Structure 1
Amino acid sequence: MTAFSADELRHFDRVAQELREAPRGQKGQIVARAAQFLSCSKDRVYRGLKATGWNAQRQRRRDRGASQVSRGEAATVASIMRQSTRDSGKRLLSVDDALEIALANPASGVTTRASADTYTRVMREHGLHPDQVSRPTPHTQMRSEHSNHVHQFDVSVCVLYYLDQGGLAVMDAKRFYKNKPENAAKVVNQRVLRYLITDHYSGAFYLEYFLAAGEDQETLFEFLMHAWPERGHPHDPFHGVPQMMVWDAGSANQSHLIRNLLDQLQVVHWAHTPGQPRSKGQVERTHDLIERGFEGRLSLMKVESLEALNAAAHTWMRHFNATKIHTRTRTTRYGLWQTIRPAQLRLCPPRELCEQLLRTKPEPRKVRSDLTISYAIKGFDSATYSVADLPGVRVGETVIVTVNPYRAPNVFVALEEDGEQIECRPLERDTAGFYLDSPAFGVNYAAKPDTDVDANRKAMDKAAYGVETQQEVDKARSKRQTPFNGEIDPISYLSADTLPAYMARRGTPLDVAKAAPVALAPLKHIDALKHLRSRLGRPLSAEESDRVKARYPDGVPEEQLDDLVSWLADSSRTSSPVALAR
């Protein structure tokens, strides 16, 4: 607020009185004379007059707020300026340059020749100015419900890099900056990367440094196997697998192995939109805290190895998490994390099982007739699981099996991927190899529950015979009753169909005379004697048998049996034996 002396205020009072009494057209001269007398600007005179309570009572212009520059023209000029802006935010074209380009190109649609200030004013009035459109979009504050509900992960470059002769050195800003890319390229394979994970609820974090040229899935897996299991330090309580992971869309994060591991661990992983680091602003802010709070100390110490760097970082990390007050929670990070409940703290499975989960996919298994499946998990013996409680399970069809990493060797079983799951535990056996939950003879009996296929089969049978129970179905079948009361005729409709008439085809007669005669194999002697005994109605004597064999040494032709019967009958009626001709 402008300050005026007492003498100035008294003079302004007199000038105000003159202005009230002055005729139209002379007020400007009175103000100019006062400005000359006080050796100040007209604006200062008007401010002084306003301080004394004077009001010019000027009528506002009817076209105030209107402009000859349209919104579309201002938008075109603003767009030209925006398109010339670099990713770093540096604007290359000024309003004057953009306006000059727009007026020189009729295709732009800009025809109004006004000053750059006018265009700037119209841009700001309509929210089109590059300063306005480059501001961040409104964002929503997200919250997490408890410790280990959401973890945020990110990787950044440490200020250190490995020296060829051993040890670590700080990256000097004079050597490593944007205008000296060749220096950064020399140590690209010697850079030290900072891997960081934070708990969104409490702010607790775990960091570790790795020597790598860039992010890769092997290093990420190694870091997670250090961050999520218990580390065994009495002053480092932060551990456990989160329910959700928020990170960027880096190649390592989105690799099949890592995504498969998180899926098996039942971790929802969400990659934020590129160019929106605010989505994981907590971990970005923690990077800054580490750079200033820990890495700022590295210039005062000599770091000989990566192990020594991580040891120092973990010492600082535990002290920071345990003592520094978080501005949002008004308590320490470890202190708030300790409020986690047992059901919310999911313990990380052993490393060996996690290595298997990297490559494990949901596997199909065929359901056996006793509603069981077999499945083997690395580190455990092959086991049998009952799937009788799975809704919709069917004998002979497949189910999808995945490992429960938190209760192995238990497994999850579903009819299809992303379907309803049930948890199954291995069936235990006794010393004889029988399942412990199987019914025992003479003690109890329990049939397997009907599957939907069993229910459908029984329902169809009852409907076919028009009965209510399975016993009535069995009784009807035993009496050979016709299903559907014989109302379904499977044949009559066939004769009702009109079949095509076929043209008779000419054939070739078969010459039977030329056909090769069919020779029957002679009967063996024993078979021939049986036929003869049957036809004669009496057993043959030893002499008669010898005569038959002598007459037919290679077997008796079947067509000769009738002659032999007559010959033997005649010879038996004679009183003396007749010798057969040889």
Structure 2
Amino acid sequence: MATAPKPTHATREYLCELARRLEAAQHGGKGALLAEACALYGWSTGKLYAELERQAGWTSGRKTRADKGRTRQGEDALAMVAAMQRGSVRANGKQTMFTPVAASIAANNGQEIVVSTRQLNRLTRARRLNVRQQAESHAPVQLRSLHPNHVHQVDPSLCLVYYMRGEQKIIRDDEFYKNKLDRLAKVQFKCWRYVMYDHASGLVLPWYVTAAGESPLNLFKFLMHAWGQQPGRRFHGVPKVLMWDKGSANTASAVQNVLRALEVQSITHAPGNARAKGGVEGGNNLVETQFESRLRFDPVHNVEELNAAASAWAEAYNANAIPHQDTRLRRNGMEPVSRYDLWMKIRQDELRILPPFEVCQAFLEGKTVTRKVARDLTITFAHPRAGGSRIYNVAGLAGVCGGDTLEISPLLFGDCAISLRVPRFDGEDLVYRLEPEAQDLDAYGRPLSAPVIGETYARRPDSDADRAGKALDGLLFPGMTADQMDKARRSNAALMGGMVDAVRHLEHIEIPAALPRRGTDINVAAPLFEAPPLTHFEAAKALRSRGIERPDLHPWLVAQYPDGVPEAELDNVVATLRGTNQAPRLQAVG
């Protein structure tokens, strides 16, 4: 039986790419992809499916069809009718094309419409294709967080306040309609407002910066300000989840590196779906109406003063301490409560302290690197906090084998921990968190944790392939220990206890009788091989062995057969010489 090929990085990359192409292929288009892969590796189709599942995690399980009923109406035409209605929906949600018009257009574009408009509506409803059902599928869902600092939401926006020549200015609607006209674009350094919202407690935190636009650096400074400990502010700490939009600054690799290092899960919503982070959207409105509206009556002169005023307002607002104003949070099923009272319920294990600014900055400037897995299933990486290279053991991790090239990202929490990403065919990478092996070495540079030869023994943890192999060995050698399995292999003992009839049944197969078929004879003439003649000496020797003794035998043979004596003529020569019973006479030849 052929053994499974040894996993290599190149083979797994090809199989992962093939799996992605199979997922994207239309019905009937997978055959060519499978045939190409089988030809490349010389595998059967079954073997290819097995390797796709083993190395890429892809299976060919068929999905249940969306429609189980029967209808005369073709699916392509039905989909076209539904798609045209969906495409007619305006940004405000108004539908401008309905089934009669869509069916008429489809019929005039080569689609066969064989049912009534009412039946078309039934079919689209049954398949969840009509416009109303599509709209309901996008209805907002109320989300919850587990504790304070579990989920933070962040959103930057252009502030109503800006500064020019040391003077505070307020954006007026008649001067800058919706903040998007050319006059506002002439203001080179605008004032940007960053707002953070704690989802559990509803706490709001604003921060301002003067800049030409959004930038990863300003976003990093805001996160450090919001999560770090600030004088006179109770709130601080790193969240576990951060929600925001797909802005260029948010998704910049430098900011993402910091989030990965801090073990913060970054969740971005689709463009135009701001309600996914509705808490911070409401927070922006609070800051604009509750704080920035005061600046018209009590202006500040620069961004530093603006931030100081914003911090004082936020502390008072979150603590419900603003005179003659009730700023408590109101939610269904609970009594009104200040935001700080809710945030103070945070436990010690939930309050993750932000590392020093310099340490975080090192990750901002760094990039995700790649490392190759050594033959002993280890990788070497110089963590910024380690002061040198450290060794990380990847043995036993699913999807990792020697020679793989993996993405490495340093983490801020833990003992020089790293984040290790193992790619999969569907894009959902496997992520592992590893800490380096102990660096306690003996005088000869060997790890003290290593087993001593002749005293102790150790082996690496089983990988997925090892565990699967042991399960298969249990089928091949039922009820045997590891030693017994080794002996059975060496002795070529019958597998599976000899209970599998792999050959014996072939003798009892009855082949259906059939009349003999007539054939055509092939006329082939056998080749004639001509032996070379004997020399005169060889012929004389052969004749003497047959009892011919003539003193002049050799000269006679030369005279009679000048080109040699054919072996077939020996019998004739014997008969001739015995018949004459006299010495042969020499005759002139020619």
SS of 2:177 mapped into structure 1: coil
What is the deviation of 1:216? Answer: 1.9
1:154 is aligned to 2:164 = no
Q: Which amino acid aligns with 1:327?
A: R
Q: More deviation in 252-261 or 293-302?
A: 252-261
Q: What is the CA deviation profile of residues 422-445 of structure 1, one whole-angstrom value per residue up to 9, with x for unaligned ones? A: 532352336847567436979x94
- Aligned partner of 2:238: which letter? V
Cα distance in structure 2, aligned partners of 1:179 and 1:251: 20
| Aligned-residue offset at 1:313 | 0.7
Letter in 1 for 2:361: E
Q: Is it true that 1:424 corresponds to 2:435 in the alignment?
A: yes
Aligned to 2:541: none
| 1:192-211 matched pairs, under 5 angstroms | 192-211=191-210
Correspondence 1:366 to 2:394 = no
Q: How does 1:98-113 map to 2 (within 5 A)?
A: none
What does 1:390-469 align with in structure 2 at a 5 Å threshold?
390-391=396-397, 401-413=408-420, 418-419=429-430, 421-429=432-440, 432=443, 434=445, 437-438=448-449, 445-450=455-460, 469=483
Q: Distance in 1 between matches of 2:384 and 2:430?
A: 25
The structure with the largest alpha-carbon Rg is 1
Residue 332 of structure 1, CA deviation: 1.3
Q: What does 1:258-407 align with in structure 2 at a 5 Å threshold?
A: 258-323=255-320, 324-328=327-331, 330-358=336-364, 359-361=366-368, 363-367=370-374, 369=376, 372-387=378-393, 390-391=396-397, 401-407=408-414
Q: Per chain length, whose mean CA-contact separation is higher, i.e. which structure has more relative contact order (CA < 8 Å, sep 6+)? A: 2
Give 3-state SS (helix, strand or coil) of 2:156's partner.
strand
Equivalence map 1:51-200=2 (5 Å)? 138-163=139-164, 165-177=165-177, 181-187=181-187, 189-200=188-199
Give the AA of the match of 2:329: H
Residues 136 and 213 of structure 1, relative CA distance in 2, 3 Å threshold: farther
1:337 deviates by 1.0
Q: In 2 relative to 1, CA 433–409 (structure 1 residues): closer, same or farther, beyond 3 Å?
A: farther
Tell me the distance in 2 between the aligned counterparts of 1:248 and 1:415. 26
The Cα of 1:326 is off from its aligned counterpart by 0.8
Q: Do the aligned partners of 2:154 and 2:197 also contact (CA within 8 Å) in 1?
A: yes
The residue that corresponds to 2:248 in the other structure is 251
Letter in 1 for 2:193: R
1:212 and 2:208 are equivalent in the alignment:
no
**Distance change >3 Å, CA 160–CA 386, structure 1 → 2:** closer
Percent of aligned pairs sharing the same letter = 31
Counterpart for residue 553 of structure 1 = none
Q: 1:386 to 1:377 in 2, by over 3 A?
A: closer
Secondary structure in 1 matching 2:225: helix
Q: Quote the offset at 1:198 in angstroms.
A: 0.5
Equivalent residue of 2:289, what SS? Answer: helix
Which whole-Å deviations, capped at 9, do the CAs of 1:246-276 have from their partners, x for residues lacking one? Answer: 2222222233333343334333322223333
Distance in 2 separating the partners of 1:157 and 1:424: 42
Show CA shifts across 1:17-44 (max 9, x none). xxxxxxxxxxxxxxxxxxxxxxxxxxxx
Secondary structure of the residue aligned to 1:376 is strand
Distance 1:384 1:291, change over 3 A: closer
SS of 1:307's partner is helix
SS of the counterpart of 1:192?
strand
User: How many positions carry a matched residue from both structures?
Assistant: 357
Displacement of 1:300: 1.9
Distance in 2, Cα, partners of 1:260 & 1:445: 45
Q: Provide the aligned C-alpha RMSD in A.
A: 4.9
Distance 2:88 2:422 in 1: 53
How much has 1:316 moved relative to structure 2? 0.8
Q: CA deviation at 1:414?
A: 6.4
Change (3 A) 1:222 1:143: same
SS at match of 1:139: coil
The answer (yes or no) to whether the contact 1:404–1:411 under 8 Å persists in 2 is yes
Match of 1:22?
none
Structure 1: runs of 5+ lacking an equivalent: 1-78, 110-132, 477-481, 488-582
Letter in 1 for 2:432: Q
Q: State the alpha-carbon separation in 2 of the partners of residues 158 and 321 from structure 1.
A: 21
CA distance 1:160–1:388, shift in 2 (3 Å): closer
Matching residue's letter, 2:459: P
Q: CA deviation at 1:296?
A: 1.3
How far, CA to CA, are the matches of 1:409 and 1:295 in structure 2? 43
Question: What is the alpha-carbon distance in structure 2 between the residues aligned to residue 267 and residue 289 of structure 1?
Answer: 26
Aligned residues of 2:207 and 2:310 also touching (Cα < 8 A): yes
Q: Is the 8 A contact 2:191 2:210 kept in 1?
A: yes
Equivalent residue letter for 1:333: R
Q: How many Å apart are 1:182 and its aligned residue?
A: 3.9
Q: Which of 232, 237, 240 is the matching residue for 2:237?
A: 240
Contact 1:228 1:241 survives alignment (8 Å): yes
Q: How many angstroms apart in 2 are the aligned matches of 1:435 and 1:180?
A: 66
CA change 1:372–1:278 in 2 (3 A) is closer
Residue range with higher mean Cα deviation, 408-417 or 265-274: 408-417
The 2-side partners of 1:472 and 1:134 are apart by 64
Alpha-carbon contact 1:412-1:422 (below 8 Å) kept: yes
1:346–1:406 CA contact under 8 A, matched in 2? no
**Does the 8 Å contact 1:365/1:398 carry over to 2?**
yes
**Secondary structure of the residue that 2:159 maps to in structure 1?**
strand
Contact 1:367–1:399 under 8 Å retained in 2: no
3-state DSSP class of the match of 1:367? coil
Do the aligned partners of residues 158 and 387 (structure 1) sit closer, same or farther apart at CA in structure 2, a change above 3 Å counting?
same
1:39-69 per-residue CA deviation (whole Å, 9 max, x = no partner) reads: xxxxxxxxxxxxxxxxxxxxxxxxxxxxxxx
Q: Residues 160 and 292 of structure 2 are in contact (CA less than 8 Å); yes or no, is this contact kept in structure 1?
A: yes
CA distance 1:485–1:399, change in 2 (3 Å)? same
